Structure 1
Amino acid sequence: MAAPLSRRDLEFLLYEWLDAEALTGRERFAEHSRETFDAVLELSEDLATKRFAPVNKLGDQHEPYVGDDGKVVLPEEITSGIAEFIKAGLTAGSFDESLGGMQLPTVVSRASSAWFQAANAGMSSYAFLSVGNANLLAEYGTPEQIDTWVRPMIEGRFFGTMCLSEPQAGSSLADITTKAQPQDDGTYRITGTKMWISAGEHELSENIVHLVLAKAPGGGPGVKGISLFIVPKYLADGTRNDVALVGLNHKMGNRATTNTLLNFGDGSHSPTDTPGAVGYLVGEEHRGLSYMFKMMNEARIGVGFLATALGYAGYLASLEYAKVRTQGRPVDQKDPASKPVPIIEHADVKRMLLAQKSYVEGALSLELYCSKLVDLQQTGDDDERSRTGLLLDVLTPIAKSWPSQWCLEANSLAIQVHGGYGYTKEFDVEQYYRDNRLNPIHEGAHGIHGLDLLGRKVVMAGGAGLSLLTETIGATIERAADNSQTDDTEAAEFATQLRGAVDQLVAATATAWSSGDPAVALANATAYLEAAGHIVVAWMWLEQLLAVGTKTGDFYDGKRAAARYFYRYELPKTRIQLDLVAALDRTTLDADPAWL
């Protein structure tokens, strides 16, 4: 079995490109070193490959079910593997030492997590959702809430979820109907139903801490009326709260993660005489969505990482297969008696492998770059905090959506490399594809992130977000234009190509909004998102190429080949997409539903 991730690539990205070791010069990370970073990564690789990867198929074939006692049942191997993860202390990752955390840089903690996501997507989700939950409460919770709910999550005793969607509302959070009624003791009674709640019920932890969006009185209609509540499965005194599992959703992939429909306050487990589940307000009333964006944006980067990890695992599996599978002969070999060659010798198979490599290694660089921005934002001065925060805001919809689309395409190509074997259950790549197909929907579909990018992120603050992005990419272009860092002219050639793409992106953005009609401006927001994503990943490849410099060897030559593929095969696609955006095309806007 191929390793699910490349340790060599992680080391290159972390140390030769992003210089993660330099973060130890900042006070927050001063107790760390390259040695402590490597120790965490080695532990993660070892645990992921030994306890997570071997049961990936088991969790897919024996998905969770509800037993006769009403409890969710998971295979014992998954339960024990997660217990090993908790025992290793890896849930503590980037949390403050004062809370019992390791205080690792986010970029290192995310690299650690990627091993588990690549090894077993379904198994990894329980703990990582809890990390996002705990991060939100660590920032917005009261000291009592932090002591009661966050510390046990960091220890791995409690797990956590995010409860946003409802059956009738989906991603339209303005339309949620879950209600929160204030009580004299300062608590609230929560009533309503939440859908698609990952890790919403299980027996893996002592407690499950649900973060629930609900509407309290006086908030008015829409998202401005939403508040955020802690609604635990068990109250602090051990009393069962009125949170009931209605049923499990059966998904095409990522099956080892329970996905639930939950009722809050239906009377199944009422802890008091007053109807409703007991909830504790986070922060102020009617500001819940702004707080939840902390976890949502973290989860969006997490989905991007998950999509990347699954694409990477599929790429490595198909690469290994292509090296050992013999079939056919070179097109210039006419002797039928000659021996078949490994399929990796065929140009079209190399094309598919190069495409996968360019997608997954490009995506991984983007996700790690965003993770380092979190570290710089957390530890920088006011100016650095402002700039890195703004850049991260602009990149987040791309970091979620681009890997979800193109690393899924990598999985599709991995199946193609395997041929007929690729779509059989005996090989891993068909599961990687099914697992990854959920990610274009997780944490908002592409259309939502296209609207977010073109409708908000690139135009906010008078276009400051887009200006900062193009300025940052421009700095890389200027470095690459001076080809003294490389032994050929490719970097300068690619810099020129990237500059043209960036200029077209800026022009298309302005033209899209020139109509003054948001419906027209945003009609092709998804095409805009895809083009912007390709431009950003092309930037990531130029950055990697500069980090390679004049270094020699197969690894570095592979980086050059992947960058070359992306610039010649992929980046040119953005011209057509941005032409469409700039044309203010109304094809989709004007399509009558009766025609469809």
Structure 2
Amino acid sequence: MRATLDFLLHDWLRVESLTARARFADHSRETFAAVLDTCERIAREKFAPANRTADLEEPRFDGEKVILPASTHAASRAYVESGMLAAAQDAALGGMQLPCVVEMAANSFFAKAGVGLGGHMLTSGNANLLMAHGTPTQQRVFAHQEFAGRFFGTMCLSEPQAGSSLSDIATRAEPDGEGADGDPLGPRYRLRGHKMWISNGDHELAENIIHLVLAKIPGPDGRLVPGVRGISLFIVPKWLVDEEGALTGERNDVALAGLNHKLGYRGIPNTLLNFGEGRYPVRGASGAIGYRVGAPGEGLKGMFHMMNEARIAVGLGAVMLGAAGYEASLDYARGRPQGRPIGPAGKDARQPQVPIIRHADVRRMLLAQKSYVEGGLALALYCARLVDEQHTGDAQAAKDAALLLEMLTPIAKSWPSEWCLEANSLAIQVHGGYGYTRDYPVEQHWRDNRLNMIHEGTHGIQALDLLGRKVTMDGGAGLMTLARAVNATIERALPDALLQPFASRLAQALQQLGAATKAAWATGVPEEALANAVPYLQAFGHVVIAWMWLDVALASDRDSAAGQGRHAACRFFFRHELPRIDAWLAVVRDRDDTCLSMQDAWF
């Protein structure tokens, strides 16, 4: 996978050109390679050996603390010591000022070697949110300590009764008496409520855990404001700290209510947390101490900063789990003898068996995996490159990058989550019966990857966001920006005799997508338009990945084995995968009401 990463970074995305910008001026291709080398080594030496142990020895709660295997602690320490928590931060904060695209490429090694270890993505996202929306004191006391690895972070959104419906959360936050507004750490509140599905909600991997919690502040009548307007965001540390970030020794009123036992991703404890139940009274009273981030009622604005970052990271994690399965099944197919090739007279039993990679159907499954994994990796890195353009490009380039990134974020999260999971399923199939046993790693890859269609916004929610908001915002400005980018690739590919058929097919697919989008909203009735949002998401994603493959093929030589492999994967995707969009877009275009009209009693 390293060779693929190097190709995508340097030959396709030309990341070395970023070093001409002031923020990245101290870097070079050599420094980027050194970071990748270090992360690849740590992932190989610390994460990969701990991965199976973390899967088999689930987190457990002894009544006082969560117990994790020693190898998990060692892997986490190695990651913290690598400096990757602050990789993209200013040098003044101990950061490397790495481009986001290089940071994500480096982190991909950890996702591939042991995605269920550490949960450092949440810590980085938590700290980045505070750097964007917190006060200077909140940044210094909480975010800087997270970048240093002293504190780890979480995001606390869902509740047992609300799930993804954040407008229905019931956690309350009430001002903590006189002088609360003058606390140097921010306006101080007491929180009471329950949060569910909190990854890394309790552990001993760091000195402190910083929870970012969504809660509602009661109105003047004491009632919670309905809907999302009343949601605010709060910093709730497990252990209270002073204004210098030192632990005071006082436990906050945040209690672990239980651990969720998961299908996969088992190394990261997933928790139910109770805030303010009185198990750990603070200063003689119940209620967890929390410090408001930003203005009242603007909690989702801040939290979406973290969620959007997490969604791209989730997509990359799904890609790398797909990559792990692909590499395992490719290695197995090359070494597993079984069957004989079909010749003019059929099979000759007198001939020795051949490796199963000689069989066309096995090659089909491997090609599908390659097209999903490397296409998904290209998309994730392209989105990360847009982040760099958004923050360091000129004004127009930054504006276009921000708009394009907003359009692509639902795809970057959802497409790899679905299709790299399918890659893992195909990896099991290549192994045959062995793939269904714990003797081989591919069954764990599938179990781990199955989470990615659920967390950080389910598949259905991403679909509603894409068709219900993203493609219609600003009069379709985002969709038009995407179309211009796709058409630019098509124009470059049309003169190439080998790629011209694919360029023409992509142009047709783009037209189909636009027509279906208009048809879905033709009546202006959201219920009708959104009834088939998931098929729309699937078709949209396939069009985007076809674009990625065409653009990657343009950058690939045709003389090397690697280049020929990329061209074959491009050809496979256009011939075997892109035709799926016809059926998906048909139900969108016709506003098919089969699912909408189905009634409960008929099931």
Name the CA distance, whole Å, in 2 between partners of 1:207 and 1:463.
44
Whether the aligned pair in 2 keeps the contact of 1:100 and 1:151 (CA below 8 Å) is: no
1:176 aligns with 2:184: no
Aligned 1:188-337 pairs, distance under 5 A: 188-218=189-219, 220-236=225-241, 237-332=248-343, 333-337=346-350
1:332-343 pair list within 5 angstroms: 332=343, 333-343=346-356
Match for residue 3 of structure 1? none
Where 1:572 maps in the other structure, the secondary structure is: helix
TM-score by length of 1: 0.97
| Aligned-residue offset at 1:98 | 2.6
User: For residues 524 and 141 of structure 2, what CA distance do their matches in structure 1 show?
Assistant: 50
1:486 is matched with: none
Aligned Cα root-mean-square deviation (Å): 0.9
Report the counterpart of residue 244 of structure 2 in structure 1.
none
> 1:238 is paired with a residue of what secondary structure?
strand
- Could you tell me which of 352, 360, 383 is aligned with 1:347? 360
Task: State the shift of 1:493 in Å.
Answer: 1.0
1:551 Cα shift? Answer: 4.2
The 2-side partners of 1:238 and 1:112 are apart by 36
Distance 1:277 1:560 in 2: 57
CA contact (8 A) 1:163 1:194 kept: yes
Partner of 2:594: 587
Preserved contact between residue 191 and residue 288 of structure 2 (Cα < 8 Å): yes
Amino acid at match of 2:270: N
1:31, CA displacement in angstroms? 1.2
8 Å CA contact 1:163, 1:211 repeated in 2: yes
What amino acid is aligned across from residue 99 of structure 1 in structure 2? L
Q: Distance in 1 between matches of 2:360 and 2:164?
A: 43
Aligned to 1:475: 488
Residues 1:371 and 2:379 are matched in the alignment: no
Task: Give the counterpart letter for 1:101 in structure 2.
Answer: G
By how many angstroms is 1:372 displaced? Answer: 0.4
TM-score (norm 2): 0.96
CA–CA separation in structure 1 for the residues paired with 2:574 and 2:103: 31
Q: Does 1:531 align with 2:549?
A: no
8 Å CA contact 1:512–1:584 kept in 2: the answer is yes
Following superposition, the deviation at residue 381 of structure 1 comes to 2.5
Partner-residue secondary structure (3-state), 1:271:
coil
State the identity %: 56
Please state if 1:421 is matched with 2:416: no
What amino acid sits opposite 1:57 in the alignment? R
The amino acid of 2:506's aligned partner reads: L
The reply to whether residue 397 of structure 1 matches residue 405 of structure 2 is: no
Equivalence map 1:515-554=2 (5 Å)? 515-548=523-556, 550-554=557-561
- 1:571 partner SS: helix
The equivalent position to 1:32 in structure 2, one of 27, 36, 52, is 27
CA distance in 1, matches of 2:558, 2:532: 42
Aligned to 1:45: 40
Q: Superposed, which structure 2 residues align to 1:379-528 within 5 Å?
A: 379-483=392-496, 489-528=497-536
1:13 corresponding residue in structure 2: 8
Instruction: Check conservation: 2:115, 2:265, Cα contact below 8 A.
Output: yes
Give 1:86 deviation, angstroms. 1.1
Aligned pairs, number? 583
Report the AA paired with residue 501 of structure 2.
E
**Separation in 2 of the partners of 1:306 and 1:444?**
15
For 1:97 and 1:295, locate their aligned partners in 2 and report how far apart those are by CA, in whole Å.
22
CA distance in 2, matches of 1:75, 1:83: 13
Q: Is the 8 A contact 2:280 2:286 kept in 1?
A: no
| 1:359-414 superposed Cα distances (whole Å, 9 cap, x missing partner) | 00000000000000000001123222211111000000000000000000000000
SS at match of 2:273: strand
SS in 1 for 2:250: coil
In the TM superposition, structure 1's runs of 4+ consecutive aligned residues that sit over 4 Å from their partners are none
The Cα shift of 1:442 comes to 0.9
Provide the secondary structure at the position in 2 that maps to 1:576. helix
Question: What amino acid does structure 1 have at the position aligned with 2:439?
Answer: E
Aligned to 1:161: 154
Whole-Å separation in 1 of the counterparts to 2:196 and 2:446 = 24
Contact 2:217-2:225 at 8 Å conserved across structures: no
Tell me which amino acid in the other structure corresponds to 1:157.
R
Indicate the residue corresponding to 1:358 in structure 2.
371
1:508 and 1:578 in contact (8 A); partners too: yes
